[in-house]
Structure 1
Amino acid sequence: MKTHDVQSISIAKPRAVVFAYIADPTNLPKWTNAFKSADAESAELVTPNGAVPIKLETRVSAEQGTVDWIMTFPDGAKGAAYSRVTEDSDDTSIYSFVLMAPPVPLEMLEGALEGQKKILAEELVSLRAKFDG
């Protein structure tokens, strides 16, 4: 059973610009459907049953181009998402995202990951649109 998915998208902006935007957790609600709000320490995660407050740790390495998020849920379960901004050329970047399976029971895992894969593809297009124009 697959426990992750990797997707990427090309963005027509320099790596530093794309990285700065993604590294700021307050931008998460602007390009993802998963967050109602987010800051350096916490977030409201959107679920089918409404928003859930979580702890949010954003791990950033400008040198490596990585932006990772560790999410701690009210019940203590942890989820993670890993990403990287790579320079493609002077004015184009590649943003890659490793989607990890959510912390759900094993019998729900495959369906949950499949659903999140589709949402991630839409969110990456939304992210690229933030840099268009």
Structure 2
Amino acid sequence: MSTESRHLSVHIDRPVAEVYAFVSDPRNLPRWAPGLGSSVVREDGEWFVETPEGRARVTFAPRNEYGVLDHEVVTPSGQTVYVPLRVIADGDGCEVVFTVRRAPGMTDAEFDRDAGLVSADLALLRKVLETSST
């Protein structure tokens, strides 16, 4: 079964290593992806985010030199959502590419809404990283 995907990206005028370090730290999620949750805690070696629906577990890919920031979110209902995410060097800056996947049964309007939310998160990520010293 194939899944429909949209690849959304943003250019960030910061070094790739700096962006990777910021995005790979789950404690920074509320700063650039506030829709996911408002607070992040680490318990027993795992990261949890408080979402409007309840507590979700977030697990990032192990640190790597390739800019892979894929992660899994286990929702409060127990559903596992796989999120492909990359940081790619682009001159002195980088490009962050987030893949939005259509969930089974998702309507066009819901898929468009999710893509819009991710686009807003990527714009916020750029703003946070280009206007602060992280």
Report the TM-score range of the alignment, normalised by the length of the smaller protein: 0.7 to 0.9
Give the 3 Å change call, closer, same or farther, for CA 60–109 of structure 1 in structure 2. Answer: farther
Unaligned stretches of 5+ residues in structure 1: none
TM-score (norm 2): 0.82
Letter in 1 for 2:60: T
Contact map agreement 1:3 1:113 (CA 8 A) in 2: no
**CA RMSD after TM alignment:** 2.0
Identity %: 23
Q: 1:78-116 CA deviation, whole Å, 9 max, x = no partner?
A: 112111111111x211111111234xx61x443322101
Number of the residue aligned with 1:63: 65
Q: 2:95 and 2:78 mapped to 1: Cα distance?
A: 33
Q: Which runs of 5+ in 2 are unaligned?
A: none
Q: How does 1:1-133 map to 2 (within 5 A)?
A: 3-32=4-33, 33-39=35-41, 40-45=46-51, 50-89=52-91, 91-102=92-103, 106=105, 108-133=106-131
The one-character-per-residue Cα deviations of 1:26-46 (angstroms, maximum 9, x if unpaired) are 11110112222234421122x
Partners of 2:20 and 2:67 within 8 A in 1: yes
Please identify runs of 4+ aligned residues in structure 1 that moved more than 6 A.
none
How far off is 1:118 after superposition?
Answer: 0.7
Q: Secondary structure at the residue paired with 1:76?
A: coil
Instruction: Answer 1 or 2: which has greater strand percent.
Output: 1
- Aligned-pair distance for 1:2? 6.2
Q: Which amino acid aligns with 2:4?
A: T
State the distance in 2 between where 1:71 and 1:95 align: 19
Instruction: Compute the TM-score of the two structures, normalised by the length of structure 1.
Output: 0.82
